[in-house]
Structure 1
Amino acid sequence: MVRMFDRLFLFLYSLLIGISLIFLIIVSTGLVEPWVARDVLDLLTERGPVSWTAAIAAILLFAVSVRFFYISIAAGSGKPPSIEQRTDFGDISISLETIENLALRAASRIAGIKDLKARVQVGQAGLIIKLRSVVDGDAAIPVLTEEVQRTVKAHVEEISGVPVMSVNVFIANIVQTQVFKSRVE
């Protein structure tokens, strides 16, 4: 949800900065008379509803600038998302990318599964693994996806030691296998 607001703020921020820069380019190159720019600035600085709107817009732009500054500093200082475990001998960190690769490896061993993509989220009771795949048109999809879910869950739990809450499989498409008939002459 926060990312969505950040994207919206970035879009609006870029739009307003772009409009301001276009205005500055038009005024500085002399494409409009200088009195037009002065009239616009006078309108923005006179006491009244327009000046209050401009002041509020400037405050909001400043707040968005501070937010983007914070994001740029905070994003570089963190480590990649991972799962932390504590043992008798010390701490273990397993990156979510590692879990994704484990899921991809397990699912790719199943016949009929093609073009896999994985995404891992950390839930309350364990990992939520989301797989996107294309299947071969020859196998029954419910049977195939159940096998993928069972295999991925068992493999990830066995290798990483982290419980898997769910494995969600999205079948994006079916690949048609081509049957070549031999010609006998």
Structure 2
Amino acid sequence: MIRVMDKLLLFLLSIVIGALSVLAFSIGINWIPEEWTSEVIGDLYSGHVEWLQWTVAGASLFMFLIALRFFYVSLRRSNSSAPSIDQRTEFGDIRISLETVENLALKAAGRQRGVKDLRARIRISEAGIDISLRAIADGESSIPVLTEDIQRAVKTHVEEITGIPVANVAVFVANIIQSTNFKSRVE
């Protein structure tokens, strides 16, 4: 919820800064007549148009509070570091980042013959790690055999290296690439 609110505030801040930039640019190159600018500034200082003073003061205070919020967010230390899998052993705590598990899965799947391109996504579930792989096959290997080999290799490799059970390895074959073999013709 906080992130959504921060995104909304950032959006509002960027709209206001953009509008003020366009206004300043327009005044700078005389698109807005000097008389109009002088009249608006005169109304602000004279107090004849009280609603204008309150509107400018309120908008300025609001923008200042948004700026303070982003200043605080930029300086605040993040309590959440990179997403990781935490384990406790008799010797202490172990933290393995999800990026590490992703790289292990990609390494194991990439060793399989017939795989051309891979992407992985890791999720943590109650039963262990869920690994989703997106692959592009070479088109010369049997897809059921290839995907089963990938699943077996990834599950074995990740469990062996991390010691964490792999609950599921899902493989999505997105496409195949036909290799073009040119035979030279001798006449």
**Range of TM-score over shorter length:** 0.7 to 0.9
> Percent identity among equivalent residues?
48
The Cα offsets for residues 96-155 of structure 1, whole Å up to 9 and x where unpaired, read as 221111101110111111122223233343223232221111123333223222321221
Q: Alpha-carbon deviation of 1:91?
A: 0.9
Q: Which residue of 2 aligns with 1:174?
A: 176
Which amino acid counterpart does residue 25 of structure 2 have in structure 1? Answer: I
1:94-173 alignment runs, 5 A limit: 94-173=96-175
SS at match of 2:181: coil
Aligned-partner Cα distance in 1 for 2:145–2:139: 13
Give 1 or 2 for the bigger CA radius of gyration: 2
SS at match of 1:168: strand
Q: Alpha-carbon deviation of 1:58?
A: 6.3
Q: Which residue of 1 aligns with 2:22?
A: 22
Gaps (5+ residues) in structure 2?
Answer: none
TM-score for the superposition, normalised by structure 1: 0.74
Which amino acid counterpart does residue 171 of structure 1 have in structure 2? Answer: V
- Paired residue total: 183
Aligned-partner Cα distance in 2 for 1:130–1:40: 60
TM-score for the superposition, normalised by structure 2: 0.73
Aligned-partner Cα distance in 1 for 2:65–2:131: 36
SS at match of 2:127: coil
CA shift in 2, pair 1:79/1:181, >3 Å: same
CA shift in 2, pair 1:79/1:58, >3 Å: same
Q: CA RMSD in A?
A: 3.5
